[in-house]
Amino acid sequence: MSTFIHGGNVQANGIRQHYLRYGGERHSGKPALLLIPGITSPAITWGFVAETLGEHLDTYVLDARGRGLSSTGPDLDYSVDTCADDIAAFAQAMKLDSYHIAGHSMGARFAVRSAVRHPKGVKSLVLIDPPVSGPGRREYPSKLPWYVDSIRQSQAGMTADDMRAFCATWTPEQLQLRAEWLHTCYEPAIVRAFNDFHEEDFHKDLPNLPVPALLIVATRGGVIQAKDEAEIAALQPAITITHVENAGHMIPWDNLPGFFAAFGDFLGEPLTDPSLM
């Protein structure tokens, strides 16, 4: 049975924020979970992950501004600080007084900044393979044209087969969903986020994390290397680091059982997926 409750929109931090909710009120009394996807991942593309998260927690998957059904366009600010503020404003608008934040890639960087700027109510952070690039550091492995070229093609209309040129290992269903939704990713927002991977200092916030944190690393992603893990652990000695074998940067797409196993009981209980048992 699906854990999907509904999709919705809320006015928060001056914009329309769209979300998908899984799990719902049956988890009353537990902290909620806010899931922040990556740079070109509208909320709906994480639905297959949120279905299981909804078995354990009241889960909200957010469309970051400039993506999916949230506000977009040339008049908005897409800086890390503003996108981080969106998360806290969403929680406040939804009257969530206790919540975990899990972010993938770009979403992890937003999650860290949000927790540091707005610690009230945040219970823990899950950082899923965040880019560790920044000023004076090695570049993020993916290149900007990969994003821009696929977005422009999606705006003209593309099939799942067309998308395979960009995501060669994905299933037909995954390719179809990305082909359907990628056009909602506003190119200037994506360019700003990609540039911020290299211009914003992710590491400066790590010593100031106000809550327990879990770092989930893709062993085939190339995003986080052993030396990066050592630096992160030195900056935030309390962080827990786990690895997902046989997974690239889009971890759940490659190894969904390993992804859930990597959480352990960090969110209060192990994450079990009935469909994988």
Q: What is the mean pLDDT of the chain?
A: 97
The torsion region of residue 83 among left (phi > 0), alpha (psi -120 to 50) and beta comes to alpha
Q: State the pLDDT confidence band at 271, using cuts at 50, 70 and 90.
A: very high
Is residue 187 scored above 70 in pLDDT? yes
Per-position DSSP letters for 120-181, written without gaps between them: TTEEEEEEES-----TTSPPPSS-HHHHHHHHHHHHH---HHHHTTT-TTS-HHHHHHHHHH
Which pLDDT score is estimated for 221?
84
Residue 277: is its pLDDT beyond 80? no
pLDDT digit string, tens, across residues 205-251? 999 999 999 999 999 989 999 999 999 999 999 999 999 999 999 99
What is the predicted pLDDT for the residue at 154? Answer: 98
Q: How confident is the model at residue 126 (pLDDT cuts 50, 70, 90)?
A: very high
Specify the residue for token string 């770009």: 106
For Cα atoms 112, 19, 25, give the angle at the middle one, nearest 5 degrees: 95
Please tell me the pTM assigned to this model.
Answer: 0.98
Rounded to an integer, the average pLDDT of 25-31 is 96
What is the length of the chain? 277
Hey, what domains does the chain have and what are their CATH numbers? Answer: 4-135+200-276 (3.40.50.1820)
| CA distances to 71, 130, 153 from 204, in Å | 29, 14, 36
pLDDT surpasses 70 at 276:
no
Share of the chain above pLDDT 90, in %: 97
Give dist(CA 198, CA 114) in Å, integer: 19
Identify the residue whose tokens are 């859930």: 260
pLDDT, tens only, 47-102: 999 999 999 999 999 999 999 999 999 999 999 999 999 999 999 999 999 999 99
